[in-house]
């Protein structure tokens, strides 16, 4: 496999990022259960010696897929790299320099197999450098207002809530355009959502999925309420479909052209709670639908209560 290559640590950001990537590789990349399952399904065995040998021979179909899985940066890797990036990013020419360096002197990575104490490793091949760096979103940098809000959040949380470094990683992975509306909502969320609220992390993750879909939105309260109504209507439709299926024979329904559409009702009910929690924290209110009080937080409701709201939409 060869010994790890140690590079001198420079003072520029690109130098520090390169050094950190190599250091994190040397610390070890965990072979997760998903990767083990793929290996067993493809090779018939997850023997560490076979895996390490295959990874050291890029170009073969099995090894290329395996390399993508092994060198997919997880949250721990990204949090480690964020200690150097600190919410910043690399310019295009620096990203090209970094890619060139990792191609010229391939980075060596220790592979961590839970059942194998022996050190094994491989090098990131040239063909894998650009896809790996693309997943890190190194060209993205955090908006100054959002950076300040994260600093204030960290000072205020007192050990409660999510780690600021992980929040920066989630923001980087979301790749937000950081419009005024997006930044404003996130700043208000960081300032007003109680860090000890048990839904804090889930609400933040909801925003990371929700905000990229609304790059041109200016009124995020209305956007959140539109999503809430969308979910309530589809929950109502799912309930009607379930009742119809329980009352009728499936063969008869099929003959009429009935097609059962899948809708994750449990996920929708959770999202309704997140929307209300965000709206109440940021805007101090939520929307009234079908007689639901404006102060009602669906996240505090039980399944039976939400069921009642949905049935009033039937």
How many Å apart are CA 4 and CA 22, to the nearest integer? 9
How many Å apart are CA 249 and CA 96, to the nearest integer? 62
pTM, to two decimals: 0.80
Give kind and range of the element (H or E) at residue 184: helix 180-192
| CB 110, CB 121: distance < 8 Å | yes
How many Å apart are CA 181 and CA 211, to the nearest integer? 9
Give the pLDDT score at 109: 92
Has residue 165 got a pLDDT over 50? yes
Confidence of residue 293 (pLDDT cuts 50, 70, 90): very low
Maximum distance among all alpha carbons in the chain? 73
pLDDT digits (tens, 9 = 90+) for 33-58: 888 888 788 777 777 777 777 777 76
Give the pLDDT score at 314: 43
pLDDT digits (tens, 9 = 90+) for 207-216: 999 999 998 8
Report H helices in the chain.
13-27, 33-43, 48-55, 61-70, 75-85, 92-104, 126-136, 144-157, 164-174, 180-192, 200-210, 220-247, 250-255, 265-283, 303-311
Lowest average pLDDT, out of 57-61, 205-209, 213-217, 220-224, goes to 57-61
C-beta atoms surrounding 79 within 10 Å: 16
Give the pLDDT score at 49: 76
| CB 294, CB 288: distance < 8 Å | yes
CA-based nearest residue to 188, from 253, 102, 252, 284:
284
Mapped onto helix, strand or coil, the DSSP state of residue 67 is helix
How many Å apart are CA 231 and CA 256, to the nearest integer? 27
C-beta atoms surrounding 173 within 10 Å: 16
CA-based nearest residue to 306, from 264, 269, 274:
269
The chain-wide mean pLDDT, for the chain, equals 83
Give kind and range of the element (H or E) at residue 201: helix 200-210
pLDDT digits (tens, 9 = 90+) for 244-263: 656 665 566 565 655 666 66
């Amino acid at each position: 496999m060869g010994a790890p290559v140690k590079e001198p640590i420079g003072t520029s950001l690109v130098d520090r990022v390169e050094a950190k990537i190599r250091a994190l590789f040397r610390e070890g990349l965990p072979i997760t259960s998903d990767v083990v399952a793929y290996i067993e399904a493809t090779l018939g065995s997850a023997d560490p010696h076979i895996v390490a040998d295959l990874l050291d021979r890029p170009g073969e179909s099995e090894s290329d897929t395996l390399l993508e899985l092994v060198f997919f940066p997880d949250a721990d890797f990204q949090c480690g790299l964020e200690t150097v990036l600190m919410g910043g990013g690399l310019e295009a020419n620096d990203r090209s320099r970094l890619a060139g360096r990792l191609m010229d002197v391939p980075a060596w990575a220790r592979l961590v197999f839970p059942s194998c104490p022996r050190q094994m490793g491989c090098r990131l091949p040239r063909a894998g450098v650009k896809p790996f760096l693309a997943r890190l979103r190194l060209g993205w940098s955090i908006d100054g207002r959002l950076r300040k809000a994260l600093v204030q959040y960290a000072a205020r949380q007192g050990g409660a809530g999510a780690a600021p470094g992980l929040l920066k990683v989630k923001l980087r992975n979301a790749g937000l355009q950081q419009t005024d509306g997006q930044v404003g909502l996130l700043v208000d969320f960081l300032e007003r959502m109680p860090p000890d609220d048990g839904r804090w992390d889930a609400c933040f993750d909801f925003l990371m999925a929700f905000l990229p879909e609304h790059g041109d939105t200016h009124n995020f309260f209305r956007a959140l309420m539109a999503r809430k109504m969308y979910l309530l209507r589809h929950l109502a439709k799912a309930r009607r479909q379930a009742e119809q299926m329980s009352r009728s024979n499936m063969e008869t329904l099929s003959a009429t052209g009935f097609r059962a559409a899948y809708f994750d009702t449990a996920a929708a009910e959770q999202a309704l709670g997140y929307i209300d929690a965000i709206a109440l924290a940021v805007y101090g209110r939520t929307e009234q639908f079908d007689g639901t009080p404006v102060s009602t937080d669906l996240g505090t409701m039980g399944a039976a209560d939400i069921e009642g709201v949905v049935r009033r939409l039937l």
